[in-house]
C-alpha cells in the first residue's frame, strides 16, 4: 500500500507500507525549495531565530544575546 501526502509548501511525500510496517519514504521537493537553515542565512542577524539548546526552543535575537548564545 502506498500513501501520498502533499504539503502546503509543495513537498510531496510517498510512504510505502508492507502489512502494518512502513518500508520506505520518498520526499520530492519543488525546484527552488529552501530549507529552514537556508532561509535563516538570508535574513539579517536581528531577524534570525537561534536555538536555545538548554530548552530546545527557538528564540529571537534579543533573547539570544541575553542568554549568551550569540
- What's this model's pTM, rounded to 2 decimal places? 0.61
Residue 5, CA distances (Å) to 19, 33, 53 in order: 19, 17, 31
pLDDT value at position 42?
96
Question: How far, in Å, CA of 59 to CA of 25, rounded?
Answer: 31
Please state the rounded mean pLDDT for residues 47-66. Answer: 96
* Measured distance CA(61)–CA(53) in Å, rounded: 15
Average of pLDDT values for 29-55? Answer: 94
pLDDT attached to residue 31:
93
- What is the predicted pLDDT for the residue at 59? 97
All structural domains of the chain with their residue ranges: 1-32, 34-70
- The pLDDT score that the predictor gives to residue 12 is 97
Closest CA to 50 of 33, 35, 40: 40
Half-sphere exposure of 27 (CA within 13 A, CB side): 7
Amino acid at each position: 500500500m502506498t500513501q501520498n501526502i502533499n504539503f502546503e509548501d509543495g513537498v510531496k511525500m510517498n510512504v510505502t507500507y508492507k502489512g502494518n510496517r512502513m518500508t520506505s519514504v520518498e520526499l520530492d521537493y519543488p525546484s527552488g525549495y529552501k530549507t529552514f537553515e537556508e532561509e535563516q542565512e538570508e535574513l539579517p542577524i536581528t531577524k534570525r531565530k537561534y536555538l536555545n539548546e538548554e530548552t530546545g526552543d527557538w528564540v529571537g535575537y534579543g533573547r539570544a544575546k541575553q542568554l549568551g548564545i550569540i
